[in-house]
């Protein structure tokens, strides 16, 4: 499979979806916002974007299946699976703030082989394919080299439906507030991962996530030289709902803190 050419096609599809999302923002009103659950929203923009992406990707690889946030299409598990978030950061979007993004990944036998994250507000296209460097708007990007807590800027997200670990989560936040340069909660996990890949953030962690939030961003981080695991050091980051991503110099120190409070064991 020609991962590079497919990736470039996916870039074009993500850009077109992003243009639609950008143009619809000024037309959006409160009546267009549907509450799926507390702090989880969807609009016709999400759904139309997903329908467009699915249609275009189906032309590109007719044999591939889909995992999509808005369930435009349901398919049995296939060797090739597209994993799509048509608008990651919907809450940001409906409030008129960035970041919000389009995230598209291709999985081959449960391994990410193509990842594209298009951050719409700043017109930034992050992408990678199996065996490539990671890129931002055609320039190679790499993770940071920071190794000490006091030199790092950390990204996280707050769960909106699974609050069982909230006290443990606060314990991690408390440590990071006291020992790092600071914490950022951007509102788009796909962008958080892309920023780790670009060296803007040194690490990212979150739980209560879905496959479409992380699939594309994880590949970009890995191809930029970063490391990704679940909270126990394993590889269940795609469907396990939890993720740690960091540059390799800092990963062990960061992992130790997250695992101590949020893990159930450790493989490292």
Share of the chain above pLDDT 90, in %: 84
**SS3 state at 135:** strand
Q: Is the preceding omega at residue 99 within 30 degrees of 0, hence cis? A: yes
pLDDT of residue 71 exceeding 90, the answer is no
**SS3 state at 217:** helix
- Mean pLDDT (the chain, rounded): 94
The answer for residues whose C-beta is within 8 angstroms of residue 209's C-beta and 6 or more apart is: 157, 189, 241, 242, 243
Q: How confident is the model at residue 37 (pLDDT cuts 50, 70, 90)?
A: low
Q: How confident is the model at residue 39 (pLDDT cuts 50, 70, 90)?
A: low
Q: pTM, whole model, 2 decimals? A: 0.95
The answer for residues whose C-beta is within 8 angstroms of residue 49's C-beta and 6 or more apart is: 17, 20, 21, 86, 87, 102
Cα(161)–Cα(68) distance, rounded to whole angstroms?
19
10 Å CB burial of residue 39 (0-12, 13-18, 19+) is exposed
Tokens of 223: 């191809």
- If one counts every other C-beta atom within 10 angstroms of the C-beta of residue 98, the result is 16
Q: What pLDDT, in 10s, does the model give residues 53-62?
A: 999 999 999 9
Q: Which residues of 233-267 are buried (b: 16+ CB within 10 A; e: fewer)?
A: beeebbebbbbbbbbebbbebbbebbbebbbeeee
Average pLDDT, integer, range 237-257: 97
Q: Rounded to the nearest 5°, which phi and psi values hold at 170?
A: -65, -35
pLDDT of residue 240 exceeding 90, the answer is yes
pLDDT of residue 17 exceeding 80, the answer is yes
Predicted confidence at residue 46, as pLDDT, reads 94
Is the model more confident about 39 or about 265? 265
Predicted confidence at residue 31, as pLDDT, reads 84
Using an 8 Å Cβ cutoff, are 105 and 115 in contact? yes
* Domain architecture of the chain: domains with CATH: 3-141 (3.30.540.10), 149-262 (3.40.190.80)
DSSP for 57-122 reads HHHH-TT-EEEETT-S------SEEEEEEEEETHHHHHTT-S--EEEEEEEETTEEEEEEEEETTT
Angle at 212 between CA 4 and CA 217, to 5 degrees: 50
Using an 8 Å Cβ cutoff, are 77 and 65 in contact? yes
Predicted confidence at residue 53, as pLDDT, reads 98
Q: How confident is the model at residue 38 (pLDDT cuts 50, 70, 90)?
A: low
Is the model more confident about 36 or about 200? 200
């Amino acid at each position: 499979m020609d991962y590079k050419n497919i990736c470039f096609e996916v870039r074009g599809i993500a850009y077109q979806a992003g243009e639609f999302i950008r143009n619809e923002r000024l037309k959006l009103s409160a009546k267009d916002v549907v509450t799926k659950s507390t702090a989880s929203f969807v609009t016709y923009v999400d759904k139309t974007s997903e329908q467009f992406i699915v249609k275009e990707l189906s032309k590109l690889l007719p044999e591939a299946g889909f995992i999509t946030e808005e369930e435009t299409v349901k398919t049995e598990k296939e060797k090739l699976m597209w994993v799509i978030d048509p608008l990651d950061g919907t809450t940001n979007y409906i409030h008129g703030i960035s970041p919000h993004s389009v995230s598209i990944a291709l999985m081959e036998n449960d391994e990410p082989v193509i990842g594209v994250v298009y951050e719409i507000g700043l017109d930034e296209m992050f992408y990678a394919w199996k065996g490539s460097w990671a890129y931002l708007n055609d320039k190679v990007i790499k993770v940071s080299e920071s190794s000490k807590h006091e030199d790092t800027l950390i990204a996280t997200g707050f769960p909106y439906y699974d609050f069982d670990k909230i006290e443990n989560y606060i314990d991690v936040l408390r440590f990071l507030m006291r020992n790092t340069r600071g914490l950022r909660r951007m509102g788009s996990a796909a962008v958080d991962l892309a920023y780790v890949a670009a060296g803007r953030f040194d690490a990212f962690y979150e739980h209560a996530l879905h496959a479409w939030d992380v699939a594309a961003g994880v590949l970009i981080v890995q191809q930029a030289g970063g490391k990704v695991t679940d909270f126990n050091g394993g590889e269940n980051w795609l469907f396990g709902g939890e993720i740690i991503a960091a540059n390799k110099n800092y990963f062990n120190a960061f992992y130790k803190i997250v695992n101590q409070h949020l893990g159930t064991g450790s493989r490292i």
